Amino acid sequence: MTALIHGQDLYRSFGQTPALQGATLSVAAGEIVAVMGPSGSGKSTLLHCLAGIFAPDRGEVWFDGRRLDKMSDTTRTRLRRTDFGFVFQFGQLVPELTVADNVAIPRLLGRVSRKRAYAQAMSWLDRLGLGDLSGRRTGELSGGQAQRVAVARALVSGPRVLFADEPTGSLDSATGDQVMELLVAAARQEQAAVVLVTHDSRVARSADRIVSVHDGRVVEPENVRATAARFTEARFTEARFTEARAEGAR
């Protein structure tokens, strides 16, 4: 299985505090991977490095055969608007704006016409059962409603990778299950790769694969390690060769 997003031997520290110490993770298109681990283990830092928000101190991040960590800030920012979607624990919606406004924002930032941006926003709101709330301000919504809006906003641009950091952490179990069911169904329909950080084993069971982060390293089941090793040897040897050839042509 070829990975769409891959972090190889990632190291990242904050001051004198190490967060990642050689973490490696691959996620294929259409695959949902749950990343678990105790608080402070480095799982959110891993997500932020894979998404290009943090640059690793050492190691490589690849997206669709390209070195993400070598891209300019401008290029990485553009990718986060077009190819990456994000759902965080508290939604991070703009409470003064309406539901439709919040979902349309990524498309408007991508310079899509206002008419098309709002049409796409309404399409996702309808799919997630929120169409009748489109004119409400998000500050007036329940926690579950707000998180479903966050899911719609994350998916409206048709991302190839969806990053979800404790997406149900602020919700009760029943509401969290509902949000996860919607998120997983939508991601599978769109064939998006999903990196799901969670401490909740109920949420993790929605994934195709569960890995753990301990002391800044990713621990995977033995049957996954062989696949990852084969992928690393074949895919990235080819990608590095292509990169070197491009450098030589300059």
The domains found in the chain, sorted by start residue, are 3-249 (3.40.50.300)
The answer, yes or no, to whether residue 239 has pLDDT greater than 60, is: no
Bigger pLDDT: 228 or 242? 242
pLDDT, mean over the chain: 86
The answer, yes or no, to whether residue 223 has pLDDT greater than 70, is: no
> Where residue 221 falls among pLDDT bands split at 50, 70, 90?
low
- Residue 109's pLDDT is what? 87
Q: Which structure tokens are listed for 225?
A: 């390690």
Could you read off the pLDDT of 155-186 as tens digits, one per residue?
999 999 999 998 888 788 888 888 888 888 88
Could you read off the pLDDT of 98-128 as tens digits, one per residue?
999 999 999 998 889 999 999 999 999 998 8
Could you read off the pLDDT of 8-45 as tens digits, one per residue?
999 999 999 999 999 999 999 999 999 999 888 899 99
φ, ψ for residue 67, nearest 5 deg: -75, 105
